[in-house]
Structure 1
Amino acid sequence: MIALLLRDLRLAMRAGGGFGLGLAFFLLVAVLVPLGVGPEGGVLARIAPGILWVGALLACLLSLDRLFALDHEDGSLDLLATAPIPLEGVVAIKALAHWLVTGLPLTLAAPLLGVLLHLPDSGQVWLVASLAVGTPALSSIGAFGAALTVGLKRGGLLLSLLVLPLYVPTLIFGAEIIKRGAAGMAVEVPLLLLAGITLGAAAALPFASALALRINLR
């Protein structure tokens, strides 16, 4: 399992579309929004939670089509399906690798981008907390979408259409945590709901993804 994780991390770094591309897209969103909306700090602070979460969501979406496609093209996915490692474990490891090269860097870079968008200091810690809790759900849900479209040519658009509606609850609760934290309000309810989404996705979706992969490999 560790060898598979290290292999996926090396492939993500070597093939592109992971750490660098997602982080660059996240940065561009934070830089371009003030240019389009205007430099008023009050306006930027009000829209910062939603903008930062939308940017993180889209950045995670960029590399999802590569999650199983490269292994499917070179035949590695067939070998993984017949390996002693359960296919559910393979899916979980690939989702973890995707989070390590996309979700984790975005979480670490988020405070700097929050400053660019005039997010109050009281909201910075909740920005990091919401992304740390919520981005694993994005990777797990994305792995399910990638498994459904792995056998399709140019399935990136279909993948986006399938995954984006499933991302909506994570987006809503993640942005709400930052809004409440910046305003000094209680954040326990949206934080627990976001954690529930992440735990549910991590527990259930590897099985659904593995089933979709088995069907596509027949």
Structure 2
Amino acid sequence: MTPSTSPSLVGAARALLARDARLLWRRRGDALQPALFALLVVTLFALALGAEKAALSKVASAVLWVSMLLAGLLSLDTLFRGDAEDGSLEQWMLAPVPLAWLVGVRTFIHWATTALPLLIAAPFLGELLYLPGEQLPVLMISLALGTPLLSLIGAVVAALTVGMRRSGILVALLALPLYVPVLVFGAGSVAASAQGLDPTGALLLLGAGLAVALVVAPLAAAAAIRIALS
């Protein structure tokens, strides 16, 4: 009777989560950079528009979406680069678990450390921008669907450039066109809600994109890593 592979998948995920948690604790300053950057973007927008409630409330959802997108993009280049430099990616390829599984776990860690804190802080940032209360539920749903999708798309881009040195600008150039549809549907759903329209269509498109990306993105990123390291 062959043993089940599920415990090994769970064990590999736990080991990777524990390792990354220790590394993040050692580099606490670097881990906080995306969240601080997003807070800085929101604050600068508030100052630039003169703290006028009418002006800020119109752009609040768009500003929050852009800040989330840029915060994730800021740390995208380092998603796999550290593992490539210390030889961990080669060990991933030799591990008894699928490479796509490890890529998916690492992408989840990236989302949890960059987007999740901002997702929790979104209501407070919305108050800073005078976001209307009736728009907050749609904004939270769109961010909950859109930010994981951004991380999954970014994982594929980061995997494609993992073999290049100093590829930060290239990663941004490749990722931004792919991020635009997510930004349009995410911010557009809140804008539709503000105009009294039904935002369900945009949210369903985000959900469909997330469902597809959950299956396709780890496989595509794993294939890109194999090609980059071969």
TM-score w.r.t. length of structure 1? 0.95
What amino acid maps onto 1:76 in structure 2? S
Which position in structure 2 is the counterpart of 1:202? 214
Kindly report which structure 2 residues correspond to 1:129-208, keeping only aligned pairs within 5 A, or say none: 129-208=141-220
Cα gap change, 1:96/1:18 in structure 2, threshold over 3 Å: closer, same or farther? farther
Does residue 7 in structure 1 map to residue 37 in structure 2? no
* 2:41 match: 29
Could you give the per-residue CA deviations for residues 43-100 of structure 1, whole angstroms, max 9, x where no partner exists?
A: 1111111111011000011111111100110111101111111111111011001011
Aligned partners of 1:148 and 1:17: how far apart in 2?
27
Q: Which amino acid aligns with 1:50?
A: A
Match of 1:61 in 2: 73
Question: In the alignment, what sits opposite 1:122?
Answer: 134
**1:48 paired to 2:69:** no
The percentage of counterpart residues that share the same residue type is 48
In structure 1, the gaps of 5 or more residues are: none
Q: Distance in 1 between matches of 2:187 and 2:21?
A: 29
Q: What is the CA distance between 1:11 and its match in structure 2?
A: 2.3
Q: Is the 8 A contact 1:64 1:142 kept in 2?
A: yes
Amino acid at match of 1:161: L
CA–CA separation in structure 2 for the residues paired with 1:206 and 1:111: 31
Q: Which whole-Å CA distance do the structure 2 matches of 1:16 and 1:95 have between them?
A: 19
Q: Which runs of 5+ in 2 are unaligned?
A: 1-12
CA-based RMSD: 1.4
2:115 paired residue number: 103
Report runs of 4+ in structure 1 exceeding 4 Å deviation. Answer: 16-19
The structure-2 alpha-carbon separation of the partners of 1:12 and 1:142, relative to structure 1 and needing over 3 Å to count, comes to farther
Structure 1 contact 88–206 (Cα < 8 Å) conserved: yes
Q: Is this contact kept in 2: 1:68–1:146, CA < 8 A?
A: yes
Partner of residue 113, structure 1: 125
Cα displacement (A) at 1:208? 0.9
In 2, the alpha carbon distance for the partners of 1:116 and 1:78 equals: 45
Hey, what does 2:7 align to over in structure 1?
none
* Aligned counterpart, 1:216: 228
> Bigger radius of gyration, 1 or 2?
2
1:82 corresponding residue in structure 2? 94
TM-score, normalised to structure 2's length? 0.90
Alpha carbons of structure 1 residues 18 and 185: separation in structure 2 relative to 1, 3 Å: farther
Deviation of 1:202 after TM superposition, in Å, equals 1.5
The separation in 2 between residues aligned to 1:141 and 1:202, in whole angstroms, is 10
CA contact (8 A) 1:18 1:102 kept: no
Write the distance in 1 (CA, Å) between the matches of 2:216 and 2:173.
21
Distance 1:13 1:202 in 2: 27
